[in-house]
Amino acid sequence: MKFEIDFNESAYYDDDFLIHSLGGKLEKTNSTKYPPFDKIMLEIRDFKHLEEILKLVDKKYNTVSTALVSFDSPTIFIEL
């Protein structure tokens, strides 16, 4: 299932990590007036795949992360 992925902290951005390390892809929102103009989407195969992604996050930031998952609209927020 395809999810929008981002960090839960509104002041925290690491789009390069989300795209290059986790395999996220930028998709246009078709917004011309208000941000975000792009969002990062990531295909998640199953909960084991999500666990693998969180292990990569933990390793990069030397912490234990959690994922806040919503299915309406499909979104994953990474909590560091």
The strands making up 66-71's β-sheet, listed across from edge to edge, are: 25-28, 38-43, 2-7, 74-79, 66-71
The alpha carbon of residue 75 and the mean position of all alpha carbons in its chain are separated, in whole angstroms, by: 8
Give the pLDDT confidence score for residue 80 in this predicted structure.
87
Q: Cα Rg for the chain, rounded, in angstroms?
A: 12
On the question of pLDDT at 9 being above 70, the answer is yes
| pLDDT tens, position by position, 41-56 | 999 999 999 999 999 9
On the question of pLDDT at 11 being above 60, the answer is no
